Structure 1
Amino acid sequence: MLGAKPVASPMVPTDRLQLTSGTLFADGSAYRQIVGSLQYLHFMRPDIAFAVNKLSQFMHKPTDIHWMAVKRVLRYLAGTKDRGIFLRRNNTIALHAFSDADWRGNKDDYTSTGAYIIYLGTHPVAWSSKKQKSVSRSSTEAEYRAVADTASELCWVVSLLHELGLKSVTQPVIYCDNVGATYLAANPIFHSRMKHVAFDYHFIRELVQSGFLRVAHVSTKDQLADALTKPVSRSLLNVNLSKIGLSSGRPS
């Protein structure tokens, strides 16, 4: 694949891969080997996080369509080998995160994909794109679960920074583009309308009320985690990459 023609995005925006897409692929071990390697690479490349998350769901029964999708990711990487995260020396010690969810985006079982990106100053330091374990009854519920996962990871990052002797100078903020999920994180009365949500997700309210965390609304067009929840167009991907913090070589 080193000499393959590069493509501008890791996935086709109109593709919604399913377990039944295509015919059974003959060499399942090759599929699993490549996707397993991509799982390590995505620790440095948030732009392929969703693609790797999606392709990992077909490890047990890959098809020819899934194999073509894997090769597209490799073609994308071949054309973006110089892309990475540039760490600046004068970065600030302040935490904030973007949280998003694609409601019922999985057409096999109608689960949602939750994603987050956590920033230390201007540097992305942690990110995730993951299929949620249960079906959400509303977009607010899916977004709220994503915020809960983000808050859990944010607590771990804060704990790690404290062990390293670094303390965040500002209150961490999670930016969510769903108004209902934002209200749900801070308003106890609003919880009466979401009794079906698992209790362990409501720990966000305690973090907000204690002053440890703040959940704020952000416009969908400014939601940096959007590209980690679904395939996006080439133009939107390029806009998001610069905002996320990925650059080609050392910035001037």
Structure 2
Amino acid sequence: MNHGSPRPPVAPARSGVPEHGRVPKYYLVKTQLEDLLGELGPGGRLPTEIELSARYGVARATLRQALRDLLLEGRLRRLGRGTVVAGAKIEQPLSLASYTEGVTRQGLRPGRTLVALDRLPADPGLAGALGVEEDEPVWHLERVLYADEERVGLESTYVAVARVPRLDGDFDPAGSFYAYLRAQGLELGGAHERIETVLATPREALLIGTPPALPMLLLHRRSRDAAGAPFEQVRTLYRGDRFSFTLDLGAPTAH
């Protein structure tokens, strides 16, 4: 048994600092920039790159790497020809609710613009997901998502034409699809959702208005109606720098 002096408590993890203690110069600049962001507050405009390089005594390339990290993390955002401190990320609950409901709870104004509303024959994969016959007509509804007039995502919804035959005539593409379903007397009973990180395709990045290198959060949802039958398939791409997702968990059950 060791009767010597007690061991000191384990030091808390050092954020971003490797065990060998050698910290890349860009990371030191990033920590200094984080202090500056706190001083400026959301919406505050950063000084120019020339001014920041002089302030921290680093090359422009080093500064840009630090800024790039903060942009990808959603701490900064481009505004015109400048850079400003970003506000908090939008928290979207993982629940069977519409995008409108989730964004509205954040005190933001949701919006959508229509990219396409097409009627097409279901291929084998889509037919299986929607519980229809192959080549049966389905709607493909594609829309850009907005929060306070900022483009933040891209949503593609597939649903059988037989379920909502008048979708192309009496649905407002700027509105909530789930609110439209409820108005038609249709209720969803549940869904399976999967999340992964991806990079947007060039087309998707252009529609959302982001650089292709910006990480995205991709949600795949397959919904069921109140009777448990397949109803819709949704693919939603969210900007990784603007969104986070929340889920309330209950206590584990004993087995």
Question: Fold conserved (TM > 0.5)?
Answer: no
* RCO higher in structure (CA 8 A, sep ≥6): 1
Taking structure 1 as the reference length, the TM-score comes to 0.23
Larger Rg: 2
- Report which of the two has the higher share of helix: 1
Taking structure 2 as the reference length, the TM-score comes to 0.23
- Report which of the two has the higher share of strand: 2
